[in-house]
Amino acid sequence: MQQDTDKAEAAAGTSAAVIESRPIRLMAMLVVGLVLTWGMGYWIRQAEIIALACQITEAVPPIPATTVLLLLLAINPLLRRLPLVRKLSTGEIVVVYLFVTVATTMFGCGIVRYLIACISAPYYYSTPATPLEILTPGIPAWLAPRDPMIHKWMYEASPTGAVPWGPWLVPIAAWAGFFLIFGGTVLCLMLLFADSWIDHERLVFPLVRLPLEIMGSQTGVSFFRNPMTWVGIGVAAVLNLINAVRGVFFNGPSGGLRFDLGNQLKDYPWQALRPITAHVRPGLIGLGYLVSTELSFSIWFFYLFQKFQALGLSMAGYRLGGMPFTQEQGIGAYLLLGLVLLWKGRGVIQQAWQELVGSKSRNERAHGWALVGVVVGIFGVMAFFVAAGMKPWLAGLYLGILLLVALAYGRLRAETGVPLLWAFPFGQQHKVIWNFLGQARVIGSGANLASPTMFALLAFMSRGYFLTVSAYDIEGIRLGQQSGVNWRQISTTVMFAIGLGAAAAFFFHLQPYYQEGGIGLRGGIWGANMAQQEYANVLHGTQVPVPPDTSRIIATCFGGLLIALIETARARWFNFPFHPTGYAVACSYGHLVWAPFLLVWIAKTLLLRYGGAKLYLRALPAFLGFALGHFITAGLIWGSLSAALGGPFLHWGVWFG
């Protein structure tokens, strides 16, 4: 059984041959990507910001990117008929697809949208009871407009409906620069580990498989001519049609099909198991099919393990709110995973250093330059944090935590392909510092509140998902390797997409905010309440500081300890059944992913037991079609209808996170 599993998963992850070797017209493709991103910006503005009908940028891959990929493949055969126009190569399609993927992700609720809320919250939400304006001098003028009226107009509409671009130009440039520096640091970090993960460990990269199958089959049969593909697409279409009918006509729940399994658990101590909700997510099921049975088993097992932790603690008399603090366990797991990855990759870092001091590089990704990029990027981000007002020790500690989580998340996506931007202990990179040090240590005793104020503003880096760009970096490198695009071209694409995507995201958000008023839009200004709370915590901490949280410290340490034990057991015992990444996923977003991975684990176990690798591969197009069908029907089609027509179509919202 295990041998069949290994063979099937190796076959599923086999590298595709490079289809074409023509030179990539990189700059032309970047222009095409920018034009398509700009066009998609109008769709995103209507669907997410104004109507809040469908979170199309929150999907993995983003629905606009999937739409662009299908569009390019549809029109590509027609290009050869135009004079002086050359048909796009597979590599060129990959460049455009990757550009739109990263650029439209910058539009999402967890990046620029949340950043805008963090910039403006202390100016708009200041009240006599919570005078947040006390903190606004701690925000430099080059990061936010200083005039409170500018922020008031953003929430309530400007007198003319026009955006006051003058006060916003410098902050937009500064934040785009920050995203470039931080994104470049993470990109170089992924370049350092790419060879080890791709060539030596041979990770599966499930999310790379989908666009490769769409562009050109890896199994010998055209993806869209395979009947199994259409079986999967059809099942997804029917499922989404049922959900849409339930939502529009019967007030069914938004977000997808789910079942409450803990509704009857009302008595002590069983109520500690609540909530237990099984979500049926086609994207997770379809792409999760490529994940190893060991990993899918670990994900659902550790979710149930957490539930029984809660039961055991309740029976023992511990009834603190939030027990057993799964997110805190998650940050402990993530941080130790990051440290383990650095330790295992010490040889790569040593090799990069040797390349720098004189040994000629034989590696096409130039480890030495990647190491230089990491070091320069770290100094650049530190300089940004300190120039903005943060104390150096706090800036260094926060940056270290952010980079460890980014590294662990990149590895998680490369290995598991969990198609969720939120599959990390969101917010905990920020909270773990408060929990361990307490408010008095972070805020300090002086009258200058610039450092804690900037720390509160930069909470968007932990409660948002810009860190997940690490996954698109490593997946882009792998996708480029399989389509004839080298690492330099991939790196250039990612960097342009981050910078231009951030600038475009500001444009498409500020326009409707100032025209209609952010609080008057159905989508509101996402994250404003969370940003307000972050600043309020700083303000209240100056009066009655909260001490370190012992219970959450213990939970964080327990998460790290369990990862260490699992890693040790895997090193000592062959076929140890648990995977550390499965525990990290279960802690971070277990309530959403456990049921899909349980279904995938059952399906793969049965297929491999009774049909072997042959049946497993035969069913693969059906599962990939199930995921793609969900993106097309729930994202492209329903997302467009609900955004354009509104009315009853808004009764069923589609959330991919």
- CA-to-CA distance for 452 and 225, rounded, in angstroms? 57
What is the dihedral sign for C-alpha 579, 584, 585, 589? positive
Low-confidence ranges of the chain (pLDDT < 50): 1-4, 6-7, 10-11, 13-19
φ/ψ of residue 257, rounded to 5: -80, 130
DSSP letter (8 states) at residue 116? H
- CA-to-CA distance for 18 and 20, rounded, in angstroms? 6
- CA-to-CA distance for 182 and 648, rounded, in angstroms? 42
φ/ψ of residue 259, rounded to 5: -130, 130
* Spatial contact of 208 and 364, defined as CB atoms under 8 Å apart: no
278 forms beta bridges with 259
3-state secondary structure of 257: strand
For residue 306, what are the CA distances in angstroms to 15, 168, 258, 322? 37, 46, 20, 12
* Spatial contact of 416 and 295, defined as CB atoms under 8 Å apart: yes
The per-residue pLDDT for 652 is 78
Burial 513-528 (b: 16+ CB within 10 A, else e): bbbbbbeebebbbbbb
CA-based angle 472:475:478, to the nearest 5? Answer: 150
Residue ranges with strand state E in 413-550: none
- CA-to-CA distance for 62 and 432, rounded, in angstroms? 30
The per-residue pLDDT for 313 is 84
The per-residue pLDDT for 218 is 53
Residue boundaries of the structural domains of the chain: 2-651
* Spatial contact of 586 and 299, defined as CB atoms under 8 Å apart: yes
Structure tokens at 434: 């408060």
The secondary element (H helix, E strand) that includes residue 278 is strand 277-280
* Matching residue, tokens 């007030």: 251
* Spatial contact of 503 and 115, defined as CB atoms under 8 Å apart: no
pLDDT tens string 199-246: 888 888 888 988 998 987 555 568 888 899 999 999 999 998 888 888
Burial 323-351 (b: 16+ CB within 10 A, else e): ebbbbbbbbbbbbbbbbbbbeebeebbeb
Strands 257-260, 277-280: pairing kind:
antiparallel
* Spatial contact of 547 and 440, defined as CB atoms under 8 Å apart: yes
Q: Which residues have CB under 8 Å from 132's CB, separation 6+? A: 121, 122, 123, 125, 126, 532, 535, 536, 539
* Matching residue, tokens 């591969």: 617
φ/ψ of residue 279, rounded to 5: -95, 135
Give the pTM. Answer: 0.92
φ/ψ of residue 654, rounded to 5: -110, 120
What amino acid is encoded at 302 in this protein?
A: F
What string of H, E and C letters represents the secondary structure of 567-581? HHHHHHCCCCCCCHH
Nearest Cα residue to 364 out of 500, 192, 487:
487
* Matching residue, tokens 């790196």: 491
- CA-to-CA distance for 561 and 335, rounded, in angstroms? 11
Stated length of the chain: 657
Structure tokens at 207: 């999310």
